[in-house]
Homo-oligomer: A and B are copies of this chain.
């Protein structure tokens, strides 16, 4: 009996984790277009056809739901932009792969509102608290990934004399601006941004 009870308990946990992940993913979709502030337990429950009390049991507060959306969006970014580049050799080939996947990610966005980080960071930059901290940590991690690969590319003889943080800042600024410009109705922005970014890393488009 104990093992049957254990199994039921395990299945419940698994089901809860799956439901939590599905709701967090939908929360990230909604937040990418309408903002993290627009999220509510009731809105998500309605969208997904589940009870509000069920969502409340899984997340508790709106802030926990926002934090789960940030985490879910982070995982999506890693899956689409970071991980695929690890098939490339370290240094310049991998930096180039990050950039190519990043442009794909904003050009044919996974999220309806485009890059989640751009939307989240700008929305929360003036609201201190755990959500801004999570977004800042995610941003810092992405900068660290870029800077590490820029450093390796420099060891290979590329990007000489450039400060890795300054270059990462430029890359992030240009891709982020392209993400916003495209959504504002400026379809040429991705080509403009690609040209700028490839010139920065000394690569051909």
Contact = CB atoms under 8 A, between A and B. Distances in A.
A86 B184 CA distance: 29
Contact of A173 (B37, B123, B176, B195): B176
A97 interface: no
A127 interface: yes
Contacts of A170: 174, 196
By size class, the interface of chain A is: 35 or more
Contact of A184 (B119, B139, B183): B139
Contacts of A38: 37
A174 B171 CA distance: 9
Contact of A126 (B112, B174, B177): B112
A119 to B, nearest CB: 6
A69 interface: no
In the complex, the count of this chain's copies comes to 2
Interface string A103-138: 000000000111000110111011100001001100
A35 interface: yes
Given A32-B126, A125-B114, A135-B184, A172 B166 contact: no
A114 B178 CA distance: 20
A177 B184 contact: no
Nearest to A173: B177
A35 B37 contact: yes
A195 B166 contact: yes
A169 B193 contact: yes
Contacts of A196: 166, 169-170
Interface of A: 32-35, 37-38, 112-114, 118-119, 121-123, 125-127, 132, 135-136, 139, 165-166, 169-170, 172-174, 176-178, 180-181, 183-185, 189, 192-193, 195-196
